Amino acid sequence: MLTCFGLCSLKQKLLILICLSISSLWFILQIPIYEPQFQRINSTFSSASSCRDALHSSRKDGVERTPTARQIYCSMKKNHVAFLKVHKAGSTTIMNIFIRFAIQNKLNIVLPKRTSGYGFNYIGYEDTVRLKNIVPLPYNETYDILCNHVLYEREAFQSILPKDTVNIGIIREPSSHMMSAGTYYGLYHGLLKHAAAMGLSKANIVSEFLENPFHWNVSTAFVHNRMSFDLGLERESFYNETEIERLLKTLDEDFSLIMLMEYFDESLVLMKRILCWETKDIIYVPLNTLQRGASFSLKSDDIKNLKKWNYADYRLYEHFQKVFWDKVHAEGSDFFLEVQEYKLILKQIKRYCAEVEADDTNSELEPLYISESPWSKEFQTTSHDCLVMTADELPLLRSLIRIAWKRFTSASK
């Protein structure tokens, strides 16, 4: 690993350093990894001050700075969370949030056992969470956070996670999900190959497929009601009204929040409130996966056909769209002010992290200082934070798995 130092990029070097410091500091010296530095450091970025001005002006609009009932009620952050990572719904970015939270608070993540091989990053590939598939814990410890790919099943989750675990999910508008998952998981590529072999026009191939999706020999596992499937609906029940109703009822009972990818920041602010977290716990830099475009689009007839084929996913989305907005409206009028402020903070962080990325002087940039607001304490973001926020999912996951194994084996000696 160290031989890479002469060859690899600054970002890779720093990621290696992060991983080395996670393992050496956390598990040998047993001290917190991201020890907060409390001195105030003025940001050198002019954008930061104009953002701060904007924030102050929103405060003048009548938002009280006295502690609200929520802040008092929210004295304890929720540390037991299961985030159901649904494919192609922005959940890699959210998983990164949970991993950072777990590292910072020294929590145990439910991790898959292997560090390589097809689908190694799934806790359950076409399966729910099982003890035999996850890295074991030292005696008497509990799993705190689950945030990898796995199918939801109430009994399995309850048997592995603490009783007070908060379940959170995310879904996406089904036609945009189809375009993204159909591009990413090879459906479109498969259809083009068929078109070439059968002399069909490539331009209409998706429309032809959607007219009769069951008659094509292409892989549809990730595009056929996949969100409902990940959330616990079995394939044979995709068109069974009783089972779909049962799924919605189970999710209503078990999940404190199902986020909507289209309202990503609103979703995260709602999550912050539900989990009693702080703004610093939900900051992110959008990972590429969120922006990658689709290779095809859908016409209105295609969408009509998709609604039949992905009936369960449409039902799921319609239901949880309503539940989502009901929750938002129950939050009261300052919710959107908080979202507005959160977006400004994210903009500053994105700009700061871009500077960190572009900086090749090998010296650490000064931390970015984010001032206090009616909704959160002051905090800082460091260049180190940027590197973890922008770290690639799989290498980060691999190092976490290795560290968890090391912890287990050294504890059982």
Ligand X SMILES: *[C@@H]1O[C@H](CO)[C@@H](O)[C@H](O)[C@H]1NC(C)=O
Where do contacts with ligand X occur on this chain (CB under 6 A)?
140, 217, 240, 242-243
Mapping DSSP onto H, E and C, the string for the chain reads CHHHHHCCCHHHHHHHHHHHHHHHHHHHHCCCCCCCCCCCCCCCCHHHHHHHHHHHHHHHCCCCCCCCHHHHHCCCCCCCEEEECCCCCCHHHHHHHHHHHHHHCCCCECCECCCCCCCCCECCCCCCCCHHHECCCCCCCCCCEECCECCCCHHHHHHHCCCCCEEEEEECCHHHHHHHHHHHCCHHHHHHHHHHHHCCCCCCHHHHHHHCHHHCCCCCCCCCCHHHHHCCCCHHHCCCHHHHHHHHHHHHHHEEEEEEHHHHHHHHHHHHHHHCCCHHHHCCCCCHHHCCCCCCCCCHHHHHHHHHHCHHHHHHHHHHHHHHHHHHHHCCCHHHHHHHHHHHHHHHHHHHHHHHHHCCCCCCCCCEEECCECCECCEEECHHHHHHHCCCHHHHHHHHHHHHHHHHHHHCC
Comparison of 238 and 317: residue with beta carbon closer to ligand X: 238
Beta carbon of residue 10, minimum distance to ligand X (angstroms, whole number)? 42
CB of 242 to ligand X, least distance (A): 4
- Nearer to ligand X (CB atom), residue 242 or residue 361: 242
CB of 211 to ligand X, least distance (A): 19
CB of 140 to ligand X, least distance (A): 4
On whether the CB atoms of residues 123 and 150 are closer than 8 A, the answer is: yes
Instruction: Name which of 39 and 140 has its Cβ closer to ligand X.
Output: 140
Question: Is 242 or 300 the residue whose CB approaches ligand X more closely?
Answer: 242
* Min dist. Cβ of residue 239 to ligand X (A): 8
Of 21 and 142, nearer to ligand X (C-beta) is: 142
CB of 240 to ligand X, least distance (A): 4
In the complex, minimum distance from the CB of residue 243 to ligand X, in angstroms, rounded to a whole number: 5
Question: Closest separation between CB of residue 187 and ligand X, Å?
Answer: 13
| Nearer to ligand X (CB atom), residue 116 or residue 217 | 217
Closer CB to ligand X, residue 136 or residue 286?
136
Beta carbon nearer to ligand X, 38 or 214: 214
